[in-house]
Amino acid sequence: MVAEQRKTYLDVKGLHKSFGKLEVIKGVSFSGAEHEVISLLGASGSGKSTILRCINLLEMPTAGTIEIDGERLPLKETRNGMAVTSHRALSNIRMGLGMVFQQFNLWAHMTVLQNIIEGPVQVLGLSKDEAVARAEALLERVGIANKKDVYPSQLSGGQQQRVAIARTLAMDPKILLFDEPTSALDPEMVGEVLSVMKDLAAEGRTMVVVTHEMGFAREVSDKVIFLHQGKIAEAGTPDEVFGAPKTAECQQFLAKVL
């Protein structure tokens, strides 16, 4: 892919985040074009989840700017850091950002179909028929159309995560954020979820993926970012970062995980 020719779609500049006195993100900047897949790598505690959570405003950045498709997230400075200007703005932003979590976070009291149509009906205002049609098409795509009427507890972890991905896609997000989507799965189920994610990348979805699946990151990413203690220690193409890591931190990390 020729990233230079595409316009910037996600632009994170000078991101800082502190929890009380603990600064965990110390000035992180990166950008991605539409259709790009960016992988965030790094040891546990390096700040990967916090960065994703700042991008979708589950956490409020302490400083910095984030732009999505040319629109700056409406953060306004307050004495204690930054705040979102309004709830409406917040929900608008969340609509453009779909997050898939390690622990699936499906609603246990709802069937698969109900899980998927809830957001489109309640937030996007789709009719129930439209939402069901969309959900059925998405379940087909993630390979579990036959499970639409069961409850999450009746599904394997891999199936639950595929439902969670379908639920996120049903909101038609501009960017998909994945936070270790396969880390809670039994090994034999990792492949089926990675395969769905590969399909999404191949169809041109813009994705930011926190993962420990190095094979996936190397094969699917356009850009790899390695974080160390809240800063970007290394960034580049998969071949650059995996093939010739420059920093000792990245070399040591890769030696452990590969």
Which of 212, 207, 211, 203 is CA-nearest to residue 222? 207
Name the amino acid, one letter, at 93. I
Does position 173 interact with ligand ADP (CB under 6 A)? The reply is no
Q: What is the torsion angle, in degrees rounded to the nearest 10, for the CA atoms of residue 58, residue 60, residue 63 and residue 65? A: 50
Pairwise CA distance, residues 179 & 102, whole Å: 6
Near ligand ADP by CB under 6 A, which window of 18-26, 92-100, 123-131, 193-201?
18-26
> Looking at beta carbons only, is 39 or 49 nearer to Mg ion?
49
Q: Provide the CA 17 distance to its chain's centre, in angstroms.
A: 18
User: Using N-to-C axis directions, what is the helix angle for 187-202 and 157-169, rounded to 10°?
Assistant: 20
Residue from the set 48, 162, 223, 228 that interacts with ligand ADP by CB under 6 A: 48
Which of 1, 19, 85, 243 is in the footprint of ligand ADP by CB under 6 A? Answer: 19
Residue 19 or 107: which CB sits closer to ligand ADP?
19
Is 80 among the residues that bind ligand ADP (CB under 6 A)? no
Site for ligand ADP, residues 201 to 230, rule: CB under 6 A:
none
Nearer to Mg ion, 9 or 253 (CB): 253
Q: How many residues bind ligand ADP (CB under 6 A)?
A: 11
Contact range with ligand ADP by CB under 6 A, out of 40-48, 132-140, 183-191, 247-255: 40-48
Interface segment toward ligand ADP; rule CB under 6 A; list 17-25, 117-125, 167-175, 201-209: 17-25
Residue 75: beta bridge partners? 84
**Alpha-carbon distance 151 to 142, whole Å?**
17
Q: Toward Mg ion, which CB reaches closer, 115 or 168?
A: 168
Q: Where are the beta strands (DSSP E) in the chain?
A: 8-19, 22-33, 37-42, 63-68, 71-72, 75-78, 81-84, 97-100, 175-179, 206-210, 223-228, 231-236
Closest of 161, 138, 139, 159 to residue 148, by C-alpha: 139
Contact flag: residue 159 with Mg ion (CB under 5 A): no
Query: Minimum distance from CB of 83 to ligand ADP (Å)?
Result: 17
Is there binding between residue 24 and ligand ADP (CB under 6 A)? Answer: yes
Report helix angle 128-141 to 112-122, nearest 10: 130
Using the minimum distance from each CB to Mg ion, give the nearer residue, 48 or 205.
48
Is 257 an interacting residue with respect to ligand ADP (CB under 6 A)?
no
x-marked contacts with Mg ion along 15-54 as a string, rule CB under 5 A: ---------------------------------xx-----
| Secondary structure class of 50 (helix, strand, coil) | helix
Stretch near ligand ADP under the rule CB under 6 A, chosen from 47-55, 103-111, 133-141, 214-222: 47-55
One-letter amino acid at 229 equals Q
Interaction site with ligand ADP (CB under 6 A):
19, 22, 24, 42, 44-50
Positions touching Mg ion (CB under 5 A) are 48-49
